[in-house]
A and B are shown apart, each in its own frame.
Chain A
Amino acid sequence: MAKSAFYEFYKGIFEQNPVFTLVLGLCPTLAVTTSLVNGFGMGVATLFVLVSSSLIVSVFRKRIPNEIRIPVFILIIATFVTSTDLIMAAYSPALSKSLGIFIPLIVVNCIVLGRVEAFSAKKNVFRSILDAAGMGVGFTLTLILLGGLREVLGTGSIIASGRVLASLPITGASAMIITPGAFMTLGLLLATSKRLRRMLK
């Protein structure tokens, strides 16, 4: 075992960040980061789906016939996604409403299927959970960053549970809140992360 268990976890945060390095899971990243809270909620939901799907797939990885593995993975992931959707609607209705169809869309989030297929299907349970958790946390942090940026530059403040967490003395450019702003912000962040990684080498 060359890589430490801890590595399997923290690689998902920077070195193999799902959005900035692996360039996966872009749809929710752009659409849902209209506020920090939305980004956080989406990240946590995806984290849950990632870890639970990875767990189940890894436990049964030797029993799933290779030819039908993709449909089986999809069934497992879809079950956890729908469960998350229902639980969210029951216990966090406001968040469920603002995230809308993007919760069910976690089932086609390339991060989930990608990690399950590339990792959990082959490695043992412990490492699979760490890998999934790391990716999920990295994804959540990215969404929080993007959501927070867009919200503070777009409205001038960050609001959570009705309380203002931070604010800038600006009115805000509403272009940040809508899709064009999302594209451009992510583009600039990607360039920044590229630059940072080159500088750290």
Chain B
Amino acid sequence: MSILAILVSAIFVNNFVLQKALGICPFLGVSRKTSTALGMGVAVIFVMTMASTASSLLSIYFLRPLGLEYLKTIVFILVIASLVQFVETIILKKSRALYNALGIYLPLITTNCAILGVVLINFSKTYGFIESVVHGFGAGVGFTLALLLMSGIRERLELADVPESLEGLPVAFITAGILALSFLGFSGMIKV
């Protein structure tokens, strides 16, 4: 697949949150306010791109040549955990406010299934180095896009009169479902 196709596909057609259902936990946890959503999104883009880079190199030069493909899960998750630790330290130094706002969700980026997900997909589709990096970046952008759209909607939902049983998570899920439906309009744009 061409690089542009991979990019567009990851952001719109196969949006990680709205089509693949990956990265739901942070998606729901952080999408209440647009400012934190943006901060989280940028952190995820960074971690996804770096994780795709590192894991791609590890796959090409270590896992596949030595027939150690079965170790991919362990290797990849350790790479991601280290990267998140690294990002956490940087955010702590650069912006205390963002660090506090993200709170527990920052270390939870490690368990963000979207990050391990994109890395595993890169591996199973045997993407080359550049394709992996572009895919990782695109997936992060798509995640951020979905996050920002959700936070904009949820900020308004907070002020709306929602029936008690639906308040909070249930209506957020239904909203996400409608958002996902709208993204279906992108299918057919790119061949998968």
Which residues of A come within 8 Å of B, CB atoms? 23-24, 26-28, 30-31, 70-71, 74-75, 78-79, 81-82, 85-86, 100-101, 104-105, 107-110, 113, 175, 178-184, 186-188, 190-192, 194-195, 198
Q: Shortest beta-carbon distance, B176 to chain A, in Å?
A: 5
Q: Quick one: which of B20, B113, B165 contacts A195, CB cutoff 8 A?
A: B165
B113 x A105 contact (CB < 8 A): yes
Residues from chain A with a CB closer than 8 A to the CB of B180 are 179-180, 183
A186 x B120 contact (CB < 8 A): no
Q: Quick one: which of A27, A86, A192 contacts B24, CB cutoff 8 A?
A: A27
Residues from chain A with a CB closer than 8 A to the CB of B173 are 183-184, 186-187, 190
Residues from chain A with a CB closer than 8 A to the CB of B22 are 27, 31, 105
Residues from chain B with a CB closer than 8 A to the CB of A179 are 18-21, 177, 180
Interface-side segment among B3-11, B48-56, B73-81: B73-81
Interface of B is mostly: helix
**Is B63 in the interface zone, CB < 8 Å from A?**
no
Q: Which residue of B lies closest to A28 (CB)?
A: B113
5 A-B pairs (CB sep. < 8 Å) = A31-B20, A71-B81, A109-B111, A181-B177, A191-B165
Interface size for chain B: under 10, 10 to 19, 20 to 34, or 35 or more residues? 35 or more
**Is B57 in the interface zone, CB < 8 Å from A?**
no
Residues from chain B with a CB closer than 8 A to the CB of A198 are 165
Question: CA separation between A198 and B164, bound complex, in Å?
Answer: 10
**Is B121 in the interface zone, CB < 8 Å from A?**
yes
**Is B95 in the interface zone, CB < 8 Å from A?**
no
**Is B142 in the interface zone, CB < 8 Å from A?**
no
Which positions 4-47 of chain B face chain A at CB distance < 8 Å?
Answer: 18-25, 28
B111 x A108 contact (CB < 8 A): yes
Q: Shortest beta-carbon distance, B155 to chain A, in Å?
A: 18
B111 x A113 contact (CB < 8 A): yes
**Is B188 in the interface zone, CB < 8 Å from A?**
no
If the complex has contacts A26-B28, A101-B120, A101-B124, are A82 and B70 also in contact, measured as CB distance less than 8 A?
yes
